[in-house]
Amino acid sequence: KAGVTQTPRYLIKTRGQQVTLSCSPISGHRSVSWYQQTPGQGLQFLFEYFSETQRNKGNFPGRFSGRQFSNSRSEMNVSTLELGDSALYLCASTPGRDGSPLHFGNGTRLTVT
């Protein structure tokens, strides 16, 4: 089985711009979660989508949004980028059952200048 695929791997953006990150889950996985990882804050949960619906949400401002398509692929959007948004953004998928472990993609490294 192919793993979780995230694109692009690297992004450099300027403050004020917006960015869209993409995630394709493992085949058959219906849940996709997004995390932000920074050296200072560790892994922070952004949101989780299951069957095209946001099922869980972390404590991030509304500039961070996401969606999931009928094929379970997911996108995450960050608008009005700030310097502090520079981070590794990780997508993870699971079948969607409670207690299933997360399987992470390789991540997208976002740098905001």
Partner 1 sequence: QKEVEQNSGPLSVPEGAIASLNCTYSDRGSQSFFWYRQYSGKSPELIMSIYSNGDKEDGRFTAQLNKASQYVSLLIRDSQPSDSATYLCAVNKGSYIPTFGRGTSLIVHP
Instruction: Look at the block and give the residue holding tokens 């932000």.
Output: 36
47: left (phi over 0), alpha (psi -120 to 50) or beta: beta
Q: 3-class SS at 90?
A: strand
* Token output for 42: 């560790």
- Write down the least CB distance from residue 40 to partner 1, Å: 10
Q: At its nearest, how many Å lie between partner 1 and the CB of residue 63?
A: 21
Cβ closer to partner 1: 18 or 38?
A: 38
* DSSP 8-state secondary structure symbol assigned to residue 96: S
State in angstroms the smallest separation of the CB of 59 from partner 1.
12
The answer to whether 63 and 77 are in contact (CB under 8 A) is no
Residues that bind partner 1 (CB under 8 A): 31, 33, 42-43, 45, 48, 50, 55-56, 88, 90, 94, 96, 98-99, 101-107
Closer of 38 and 80 to partner 1 (Cβ): 38
Which is closer to partner 1, CB of 49 or CB of 81?
Answer: 49
CB of 88 to partner 1, least distance (A): 8
The helix or strand, by DSSP H or E, that contains position 70, with its residue range, turns out to be none
